[in-house]
Amino acid sequence: MADRLKGKIAVVFGAGSSGEGWGNGKAAAVAFAREGARVACIDISQAAAEETAAIINGEGGVAIALAADVTRQASIDSAVAATMTRFGRINILHNNVGVTHMGGPVELSEEQFQAAIDLNLGPVYRCSKAVIPHMLAGGGGAIVNISSIAAIRWVGYPYFAYYATKAAVNQATVALAMQYARQGIRANCIMPGLIDTPMIYKQISAQYPSVEEMVAARDALVPMGKMGTAWDIANAAVFLASDEAKFITGVCLPVDGGQTCGASGVG
């Protein structure tokens, strides 16, 4: 266990995985702990949060598991209050919850469009609303939001609401960074490219004839030749949350194997 986050308290929303393996939030929570942070693992699934917390505690770290629905402010407030009761402060807020729905405005239902707003953009607002007062009281903190390269590029999938809401996450991050820069709060976001996580097998694979073809096609679109992993996102999150990034705020960082360097973002 290293010490880049020693003494810090991190809250990770979306700390469970949406299937077997390592999702971005699960990896981030464990990576924070391995760098010395104590972590509140928060997920809509109590069981998923407990699985992540058990990994951290099993490695000698300190973590608690909490359930929260990020579409409900009261639920978030309750999880944040429980974190404060246990740890007394919050230094790092990591927002990792998101959803994809395929389709443009013609194909998307009103419910799917609203769900994208509630689950992709809503947590940045609601979780910040709950956590920032505690950060201000404690003298500052670091916010890391998970966006997507879909915020700035067409990536080949017809998911109108995902593009729109992830673009909003980027600018919401900038707004947070600028408003609170003089009060010791930094805000940055990570824009993952094509990452091999459990979510793609649930939400993306139907776009392909088979899972194997999905993996091959996504690997082929990455200039470095292969999709990234959740640990690539987690390592970036650790850096942005740490004092090594103390002069970095308002940044939307691609972690994409070079994909956004292409003109279209799709190869």
User: Per residue in 203-249, pLDDT tens?
Assistant: 787 888 898 999 998 999 999 999 999 999 999 999 999 999 999 99
User: For residue 41, is it within any domain?
Assistant: yes
By residue range, what is the domain housing residue 158? 9-198+230-247
Q: Is residue 216 part of a domain?
A: no
Give how many domains the chain has, as a whole number: 1
Q: What is the pLDDT of residues 17-49, one digit of tens each?
A: 766 789 999 999 999 999 999 999 999 999 999
Confidence of residue 85 (pLDDT cuts 50, 70, 90): very high
> Is 170 contained in some domain?
yes
Q: What is the pLDDT of residue 20?
A: 78
Residues known to be catalytic: 162
Q: What's the CA angle centered on 168, arms 21 and 138, to 5 degrees?
A: 75
> In the prediction, which pLDDT does 76 show?
98
pLDDT of residue 267: 43
On whether residue 257 sits in a domain, the answer given is no
Distances, alpha carbon 51 to alpha carbons 5, 30, 38, 208, 226, in Å: 22, 11, 16, 31, 28
Is 260 part of any domain? no
- Residue 182 in domain: yes
CATH number at 180 reads 3.40.50.720
Whether 154 is covered by a domain: the verdict is yes
Tell me which DSSP letter residue 243 carries. G
> 3-class DSSP state for residue 100?
coil
Does residue 208 form part of some domain?
Answer: no
Burial of 175 (0-12, 13-18, 19+ CB in 10 A): middle
